[in-house]
Amino acid sequence: CNFNVLKQTPETLFDKPRIEPEIEPYQTSKIYSFPIYDYEGDKFAFRFTVTDSLTIFSVGASSQSLKELIDFPKESDSTLIKDPRWSEQFARSPKTIGGVAYIVPENLMGIVDYFLTKEEQYKQYVQDDWLIIARGYLKALKSIGTTTTQEGKTLISNTFINIEQLPTDEAKQVEEALDRVFAKNGDVGQRTIQARDSVVKSGVGQIAQALQVYYTTPGNSKYPVSLNELVTSKTVIEVPTSPSGEAYGYLRCADGKEIAVSGKLESTGTYWVWSSASMKAIDTNSTTPPSTTCVYGL
């Protein structure tokens, strides 16, 4: 990265100085950094280092993340795949992995918060309802992970999304923010009900997807007896609940070969049902939950 740049024009020859990195010794390695931008006192830089087994690059205002990777224990019992956070995110990932991407959506709000607190003219928006709503939805998306592996000449990508329920106080803040936003646009009651119905439909879909994963897992030839088995089998961290706090309906038919998942829609009082027989969800237009058959949508 050390070089001279000569720029020749009809009039002048400019001699550009060499780009010299700052060197920070750490453990048995050296961290090299090149300044990028000084933003309100925070000096961002491109950094890299090389250890006996890693080459690490980063862009940020400090070298702390590089130091944490250098310090990561190298004993066999401290491998990344045994970390509980890895097990939670990639429990059903392939055994052999060529590439990994891991995203914590909530952290994206950190960039927004950082910018808003640095710029005086935007500080008023820190508690804006839209930001409260965005932060709530991003936090509910606990993490997103993607693995890439290869079979022959085919690249196979798998994406795993972890969704968690917000704490009661935070969920209330988001609901109140939604109410205020809808109130500004009129018909707050109807819009709030529609929002809760959307959550019901999403919850039914999440459970249906988890049940399909359970059913197609080697060794399983039937759907679980209860939704709690999705948790004990580590198919999901927890089973979603409806906005009212009630459990979603689950009906098992044909000796575990067919199932129906249901949730009550607040706007109509009817049930939204996903059926394994049709592999789709429909509004049954019935105020009675499934109790005798799992066949819907055919």
Span 221-237, average pLDDT = 89
Question: 215 and 153 in one domain?
Answer: no
- Is the per-residue pLDDT at 250 higher than 90? yes
Q: Which of 72, 96, 130 is the last residue of a domain?
A: 72
Question: 290 and 194 in one domain?
Answer: yes
Span 4-8, average pLDDT = 50
Question: 245 and 221 in one domain?
Answer: yes
Q: Identify the band that residue 133 occupies on the pLDDT scale cut at 50, 70 and 90.
A: confident
Span 186-190, average pLDDT = 56
Rounded Cα gap, residues 88 and 18, in angstroms: 47
What b/e readout covers 63-91, taking b as 16+ CB neighbours within 10 angstroms? beebbeebeeeeeeeeeeeeeeebeebbe
Task: Give the tokens for residue 250.
Answer: 């689950």
Question: 298 and 192 in one domain?
Answer: yes
Task: Give the tokens for residue 284.
Answer: 């049954």
Q: Look at 77 and 242; give whichever has higher pLDDT.
A: 242
Question: 200 and 155 in one domain?
Answer: no
- Average pLDDT of the chain? 77
| Residue 108 CB contacts under 8 Å (≥ 6 apart), including other chains | 138
> Pick from 201, 193, 200, 226: which is nearest to 211 by CA?
226
Question: 178 and 136 in one domain?
Answer: yes
The per-residue pLDDT for range 255-271, each reduced to its tens digit, is: 889 999 999 998 888 99
- Is the per-residue pLDDT at 137 higher than 80? no
Q: Which of 9, 37, 72 is the last residue of a domain?
A: 72
Structural domain tally of the chain? 3
Question: 208 and 163 in one domain?
Answer: no
Alpha helices for the chain (secondary structure H): 64-71, 84-89, 108-118, 129-140, 168-184, 188-216, 228-232
Cβ neighbours, 10 Å, residue 242? 17
pTM: 0.42
- Greatest mean pLDDT among 124-133, 136-145, 192-201, 227-236 lies in 227-236
Question: Cα 125 from chain centroid?
Answer: 25
Rounded Cα gap, residues 157 and 155, in angstroms: 7
Q: Identify the band that residue 148 occupies on the pLDDT scale cut at 50, 70 and 90.
A: confident
- Is the per-residue pLDDT at 62 higher than 70? yes
Rounded Cα gap, residues 87 and 229, in angstroms: 18
Q: Which of 54, 72, 90 is the last residue of a domain?
A: 72
Tell me the residue length of the chain.
Answer: 298
Question: 195 and 155 in one domain?
Answer: no
Residue 190 confidence (pLDDT): 64
CATH value at residue 218: 3.30.700
Residue 1 confidence (pLDDT): 45
The per-residue pLDDT for range 20-58, each reduced to its tens digit, is: 888 999 888 899 988 887 766 677 888 888 888 778 888
Backbone angles phi, psi at 199, to 5 degrees: -65, -40
Residue 295 confidence (pLDDT): 85
Residue 4 confidence (pLDDT): 47
The DSSP-derived string for 254-289 is: GGGTEEEEEEE-TTTS-EEEEETTTTEEEE---SS-
Question: Cα 249 from chain centroid?
Answer: 26
Rounded Cα gap, residues 261 and 90, in angstroms: 25
Q: Over the Cα atoms of the chain, what is R_g?
A: 26
- Extract the runs of DSSP E, i.e. beta strands, from 17-140: 22-26, 29-39, 42-50, 55-60, 99-103
Question: 152 and 46 in one domain?
Answer: no
Structural domain range at position 109: 79-186
Residue 43 confidence (pLDDT): 77
Cβ neighbours, 10 Å, residue 164? 13
Residue 263 confidence (pLDDT): 92
Q: Look at 95 and 239; give whichever has higher pLDDT.
A: 239
Q: Identify the band that residue 130 occupies on the pLDDT scale cut at 50, 70 and 90.
A: confident
- Do the beta carbons of residue 46 and residue 59 sit within 8 Å? yes
